[in-house]
Structure 1
Amino acid sequence: MWVRTASEADLPAVHALLAETMQAAYGKILGPISVVGIVSSMHAIDVMRAWLNSPFSEFVVADDGNGSVDGMAFARQLTDDTVRLSHLYVRPSEQVQGLGTALLAEVESAFPGVRYMTLDVIKDQSAAVRFFERKGYVVTGEGCAWKAANCEKPTVSMQKTLETWAF
């Protein structure tokens, strides 16, 4: 398994991966029908195609070399010193094998000179919160999942100070 930059050819496999992983991660929290809607709108092929072409971003996949994409991550630089990790997913059957760590390390190192990486996690996703805490992220606040008006699904905002480096 290796982490590499995503390509147009990966998008159908990434979409299928997101459908599977998001159902496993959020199905019990948000409901399976809501997850299908989120995947079909927020993770449609056209949306991910825009990620590929987004300036100041990194879109990577974990590739097993046999046509399977078992993980993905996407981050975008927001300011001169801050990057936002908006997606990091690993196929449930491949979790706890280092893929999430490898994907996270790749996006953390992809932005020279940037000082902070931020992200949001649904508070009920305690395994994800613990994963990021083990990687050096600290909780900096609370909010609502996908800016929901009724805030039924609170989130935690997390941040990590990155090691800065220059060419």
Structure 2
Amino acid sequence: MFVRTAGERDLGAIRTLLVETWHATYDAIYGAGRINEVIDIWYSPAKLKASLERPNAEFLVADDSKRIGGVAHAESAEGGAVVDLHQLLVAPDLQGRGIGGMLLDKVIESFPEARAIRLQVAEQNRRAVAFYLGNGFVQIGRTDNHGSGQSGIAELILERSLSAER
């Protein structure tokens, strides 16, 4: 796998990866119906295209020229001092092979002025929480309701300092 910037031609494969990964990760926790609702809201083709076109953002894919095996989307925040990592997902059958680490490294490289990278991760997604903690993130907060309204999706807010790395 190599990591590259996503293009509009990748959007169908990205959505397929997101749907597969979300269902594999969250169906047992929140139920397939609820996950379908989340996917329809957060990962509609229009929303994915808008994410691709956002200024001060990076949308990356891990690609082996046959398939997209991972995706990451991050955006500069707080005047460039912080990177908000909105998503980092790897296909279920490819997890544990270093693809997530490659995507994370490339996200960090894409924002050389940033002093920290921050994200929210579902508290019950123990595998993802362990991945981020193993990659130098620490918990700085928690929310009981991710997104708008009373979602009931508890998330940890994690951050990793980048200042010492630069």
TM value normalised by structure 1: 0.93
Q: What's the counterpart of residue 37 of structure 1?
A: 37
- AA partner of residue 75 (structure 1): A
- Show CA shifts across 1:10-51 (max 9, x none): 000000000000001111111101111111221011111111
Distance 1:83 1:54 in 2: 14
Q: Indicate if the aligned counterparts of 1:122 and 1:145 stay in contact, CA closer than 8 A.
A: no
The CA RMSD measured in Å over matched residues stands at 1.4
Q: Secondary structure at the match of 1:147?
A: coil
Unaligned runs of 5+ in 2: none
Distance 1:60 1:83 in 2: 14
Q: What's the counterpart of residue 8 of structure 2?
A: 8
Distance 1:147 1:92 in 2: 24
- AA partner of residue 152 (structure 1): G
- Structure 1 residues 49 and 151: CA distance shift in structure 2, 3 A: closer
Q: How many residues align?
A: 164
- Structure 1 residues 149 and 44: CA distance shift in structure 2, 3 A: closer
- Structure 1 residues 151 and 53: CA distance shift in structure 2, 3 A: closer
Q: What's the counterpart of residue 102 of structure 2?
A: 102
Q: Identity percentage over the alignment?
A: 32
Q: Secondary structure at the match of 2:111?
A: coil
- AA partner of residue 72 (structure 1): V
Q: Indicate if the aligned counterparts of 2:146 and 2:152 stay in contact, CA closer than 8 A.
A: no
Q: Secondary structure at the match of 1:146?
A: coil
- AA partner of residue 76 (structure 1): E
Unaligned runs of 5+ in 1: none
